[in-house]
Amino acid sequence: MVTGDNIRTIEGRLLMADFGEHESRCRVHPLAGEPVLCLFDEAQKDEVRVDILHYVRIVGEAKQDPRTGKIASIKIHHIHRLNDPTGEAADWLPPGTPTARDFWESPTVEELAKAQDVQPATDVTTLFGTWPGEVNDGFEEVIEQLRRSDPGAGRFS
């Protein structure tokens, strides 16, 4: 049962959990808007741990900035794991198409290859002569120069 004042519900991805000795906190990143700091107690640590990286609904008591009305933090009362809304359209995409959901799943190279239907190179010589530019076009030197250039300079020279 949820008790207390200013009970709020938010939905988002649960990230950056900090299991402190005296105070534990995490962040819930909604699809739109700024992340919300969420506080939880010792009894909720395991529940938070299994829901890290997942999309959740948080119900809890919010503290708000009295001037702006912005939620400063929520003391978690309940956590509910939800289906990831960012992956709902994936069924209509070609197999292997990366989605936002994939960003959080850290597949291995082999798993990516399987999803993209990439097979081992049975005859690597089939790659020879497929370069669209000239053989002596200086591509490798350009990339080397790019890697050594100052990204803060704003342009490649």
Partner 1 sequence: MNNGTVILDTNIVSYLMKGGSLAEAYAPHVQGRLLAIAFITVGEMYFGAEYKNWGE
Strand partners, 76: 60
The yes or no reply on residue 151 touching partner 1 (CB under 8 A) is no
The CA distance from 111 to 67, in Å, is 50
Cβ(92)–Cβ(57) below 8 Å: no
Q: Which two tokens stand for residue 90?
A: 């994936």
- Candidate list 68, 125, 153, 155; residue touching partner 1; CB under 8 A: 125
- Residue from 1, 32, 43, 124 binding partner 1 (CB under 8 A): 124
Q: Tell me: does residue 157 bind partner 1 (CB under 8 A).
A: no
> Smallest distance, Å, CB 150 to partner 1?
16
Please name which of 28, 31, 33, 48 lies closest in space to residue 88, comparing C-alpha atoms. 31
CA 116 to chain centre: 21
Q: Near partner 1 by CB under 8 A, which window of 15-23, 52-60, 76-84, 141-149?
A: 141-149
Give Rg (Cα) of the chain: 24
- String marking each residue 97-116 x if it binds partner 1 according to CB under 8 A: ------------xx-xx---
What residue ranges bind partner 1 (CB under 8 A)? 109-110, 112-113, 118-125, 127-133, 135, 137, 139-140, 142-144, 146, 156
